[in-house]
Amino acid sequence: MIVDKDNATVLTVRDWPTLADIRTGVVMKDVDEESGLDLIFMKNPASLGDDSMVSISHSVAALRDGNMIFSASLESLDLRALSSALGESVKSLQNEYGIKGYLTPSRIILYGNGEKEDLGVYLGAKDDDSVFDFLRGLFEDSFVEVGEDEDYSDWIIEE
The count of structural domains within the chain is 1
CA pair distance 76, 93, nearest whole angstrom:
14
Q: Where would I find the beta strands (DSSP E) of the chain?
A: 26-31, 38-43, 54-64, 67-77, 107-112, 115-121
Q: Is residue 61 part of a domain?
A: yes
Tell me what pLDDT residue 156 has: 46
Q: Is residue 14 part of a domain?
A: no
Q: For residue 107, which phi and psi values (nearest 5 degrees)? A: -110, 150
CA pair distance 71, 119, nearest whole angstrom:
13
Q: Is residue 81 part of a domain?
A: yes
Q: Is residue 155 part of a domain?
A: no
Q: Is residue 148 part of a domain?
A: no
Tell me what pLDDT residue 59 has: 97
Tell me what pLDDT residue 28 has: 94
- pLDDT tens, position by position, for the chain (159 residues)? 788 888 888 998 888 899 999 999 999 999 998 888 999 999 999 998 886 789 999 999 999 999 999 999 999 999 998 888 889 999 999 999 899 999 999 999 999 988 999 999 999 999 999 999 999 999 998 876 655 555 555 544 444
Domain with 70, as residue range(s), is: 26-139
Q: Is residue 145 part of a domain?
A: no
Position 114, amino acid: G
Tell me what pLDDT residue 159 has: 45
CA pair distance 159, 152, nearest whole angstrom:
17
Q: Is residue 12 part of a domain?
A: no
**Model confidence, pTM:** 0.84
Q: Is residue 7 part of a domain?
A: no
Q: Describe the strand order of the beta sheet including 54-64 as a list of residue ranges.
A: 26-31, 38-43, 54-64, 67-77, 107-112, 115-121
